[in-house]
């Protein structure tokens, strides 16, 4: 059971102009995983989500969700299948004139949910998202984070097996973003719901995704587990996104020549926490100062970057670089190219 897209294309015609929003894209999202799609505006992310959500049909290719070929559905079958795909939005999309209770009741009514069970289900959902005391509040009296919690409760009302998140935290401050992402992760782990999220923020991917696809111009140009994408980005677009997090630029006053080099080192896994700089001091007659450094924990696995300014005889600097290149779990990082 999974979401499988096979050679999917989507073309729009606008005033006689063809826009290829998706170009023969193939992708398998495994059951129970959190899959993040990152890309700049116009890359085709929302279009992809609308195909999975059955809001639109592909121009060619196949979309299969949990064993059902979506193109084959119509009428009631389509309506029922759609209920099994929940969705949350950047602007929450709550009905302002309805209370929290009524917002969720609305989707349960639409799905002809057993009326006798409706109140119990809504209370259960609000408890799950930590809003048990807001049942009679109106959206205008809720914070952004609380509104998104209502959005999540509403999306889960019909026991979906897939939850699609369209820039779900882009309107929230960093702290609220973290709590919402934690909630989504808990929902994924505890309820086993597959989550597909689209974002333009690498922080969001780092925080929550198991795997990530990088989209540009209607194609997925790189796809891997999140640690691999962060530690070894291949495509220029991916490098640009990663560099947004590791913004390591050489300070302008640092002179770079054969006796004075800036070396950025990448430490993988447990090597990030070792006393590596100590070893460099001990082994080489160089003057070493730290210009920048950071350890990131991705799914609890450390990934470290350290920018060093090394001064010394050219031969000694070459030996030091050779030592780094031969050390296990340690690599020279270079500077990831920034794409504007
Ligand atoms: N209904 C539509 N009619 C015509 N063109 C469309 C339509 N929907 C999307 N497009 C075009 O398809 C391309 C991909 O758009 P899409 O919204 O999927 O990108 P995106 O990555 O989600 O961007 P954003 O983050 O800005 O939403 C864009 O060139 C867009 O203008």
What mean pLDDT is predicted for residues 208-237?
95
What mean pLDDT is predicted for residues 191-217?
95
Of the candidates 55, 45, 63, 47, the residue with the CA atom closest to the CA atom of residue 8 = 63
Instruction: Measure 283 CA to ligand 1 centroid, in angstroms.
Output: 55
CA distances for 67 relative to 8, 155, 327, angstroms: 17, 21, 47
Instruction: Measure 47 CA to ligand 1 centroid, in angstroms.
Output: 6
What mean pLDDT is predicted for residues 270-298?
87
> What is the tens place of the pLDDT at every residue in 11-42?
999 999 999 999 999 999 999 999 999 999 99
Whole-complex ipTM = 0.94
**pLDDT given for residue 133 in this prediction:** 94
**pLDDT given for residue 336 in this prediction:** 63
| Second CATH level (architecture) for the domain 260-332 | 2-Layer Sandwich (3.30)
Q: 39, 204 in Cβ contact below 8 A? A: no
> What is the tens place of the pLDDT at every residue in 301-335?
999 889 999 999 999 999 999 999 998 888 888 75
Instruction: Measure 110 CA to ligand 1 centroid, in angstroms.
Output: 29
Instruction: Measure 43 CA to ligand 1 centroid, in angstroms.
Output: 7
Instruction: Indicate which residue's Cα is closest to atom 12 of ligand 1.
Output: 21
> What is the tens place of the pLDDT at every residue in 60-119?
999 988 887 777 777 778 888 888 899 999 999 999 999 999 999 999 999 989 999 999
Instruction: Measure 50 CA to ligand 1 centroid, in angstroms.
Output: 11
**pLDDT given for residue 253 in this prediction:** 86
Instruction: Indicate which residue's Cα is closest to atom 24 of ligand 1.
Output: 41
Region of residue 300 (phi > 0: left; psi between -120 and 50: alpha; otherwise: beta) = left
Ligand 1 closest atom vs CA 50: 18
Q: Where are the domains of the chain?
A: 2-243, 260-332
Q: What is the pTM for the complete model shown? A: 0.90
* Position 223 pLDDT exceeds 90: yes
Give the separation between CA 278 and CA 274, rounded to whole angstroms.
9
**pLDDT given for residue 273 in this prediction:** 72
**pLDDT given for residue 1 in this prediction:** 59
**pLDDT given for residue 339 in this prediction:** 44
Strand ranges across the sheet with 162-166: 85-89, 162-166, 194-199, 34-39, 211-216, 219-225
**pLDDT given for residue 81 in this prediction:** 83
Instruction: Measure 19 CA to ligand 1 centroid, in angstroms.
Output: 9
Q: How many CB atoms lie within 10 A of CB 178?
A: 17
Query: Across all residues in the chain, what is the average pLDDT?
Result: 91
Instruction: Indicate which residue's Cα is closest to atom 28 of ligand 1.
Output: 42
DSSP string, 71-125: GG--HHHHHHHHHTEEEEETT----TTS-HHHHHHHHHHHTT--HHHHHHHHHHH
Is 268 buried (19+), middle (13-18) or exposed (0-12) by CB count in 10 A?
Answer: middle
**pLDDT given for residue 258 in this prediction:** 86
**pLDDT given for residue 340 in this prediction:** 39
Pocket of ligand 1 from Cβ distances under 6 Å:
12, 14, 19, 21, 39, 41-47
The residue ranking higher by pLDDT, 247 or 185, is: 185
> What is the tens place of the pLDDT at every residue in 226-259?
999 999 999 999 998 988 777 778 888 888 888 9
* Position 149 pLDDT exceeds 70: yes
Instruction: Indicate which residue's Cα is closest to atom 13 of ligand 1.
Output: 21
One fold for 2-243 and 260-332: no
Instruction: Measure 241 CA to ligand 1 centroid, in angstroms.
Output: 20
Instruction: Measure 17 CA to ligand 1 centroid, in angstroms.
Output: 14
From 46, 53, 165, 200, mutation site for ligand 1 pocket: most ligand atoms within 8 A of C-beta: 46
Please check whether the domain covering 2-243 is classified as CATH 3.30.300.130.
no
Ligand 1 closest atom vs CA 47: 18
Instruction: Indicate which residue's Cα is closest to atom 25 of ligand 1.
Output: 41
**pLDDT given for residue 169 in this prediction:** 94
């Amino acid at each position: 059971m999974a979401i499988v897209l096979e050679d999917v294309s989507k073309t729009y015609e606008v005033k006689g102009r063809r826009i290829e929003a998706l170009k023969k894209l193939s992708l398998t999202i495994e059951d129970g995983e959190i899959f993040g799609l990152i890309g700049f505006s116009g890359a085709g992310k929302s279009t992809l989500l609308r195909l999975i959500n059955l809001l639109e049909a592909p121009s060619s290719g196949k979309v299969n969700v949990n064993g059902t070929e979506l193109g084959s559905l119509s009428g009631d079958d389509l309506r029922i299948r759609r209920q099994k795909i929940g969705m949350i939005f950047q602007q929450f999309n709550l009905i302002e004139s309805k209370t929290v209770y009524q917002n969720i009741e609305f989707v349960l009514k639409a799905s002809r949910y057993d009326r006798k069970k409706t109140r119990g289900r809504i209370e259960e959902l609000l408890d799950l998202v930590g809003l048990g005391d807001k049942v009679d509040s109106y959206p205008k009296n809720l914070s952004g984070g609380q509104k998104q919690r209502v959005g999540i409760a509403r999306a889960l009302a019909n026991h979906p097996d897939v939850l699609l998140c369209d820039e779900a935290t882009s309107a929230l401050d960093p702290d609220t973003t973290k709590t919402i992402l934690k909630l989504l992760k808990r929902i994924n782990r505890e309820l086993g719901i597959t989550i597909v999220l689209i974002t333009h923020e690498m922080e969001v991917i780092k925080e929550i995704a198991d795997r990530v696809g990088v989209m540009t111009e209607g194609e997925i140009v790189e796809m891997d587990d999140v640690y691999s994408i962060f530690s070894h980005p291949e495509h220029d677009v991916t490098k640009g996104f990663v560099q947004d997090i590791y913004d390591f630029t050489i300070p302008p006053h640092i002179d770079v020549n054969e006796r004075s080099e800036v070396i950025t080192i990448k430490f993988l896994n447990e090597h990030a926490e070792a006393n590596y700089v100590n070893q460099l001091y001990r082994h080489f007659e160089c003057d070493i100062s730290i210009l920048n450094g950071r350890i990131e924990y991705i799914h609890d696995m450390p990934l470290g970057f350290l920018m060093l300014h090394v001064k010394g005889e050219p031969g000694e600097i070459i030996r030091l670089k050779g030592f780094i290149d031969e050390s296990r779990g340690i690599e020279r990082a270079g500077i990831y190219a920034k794409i504007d």
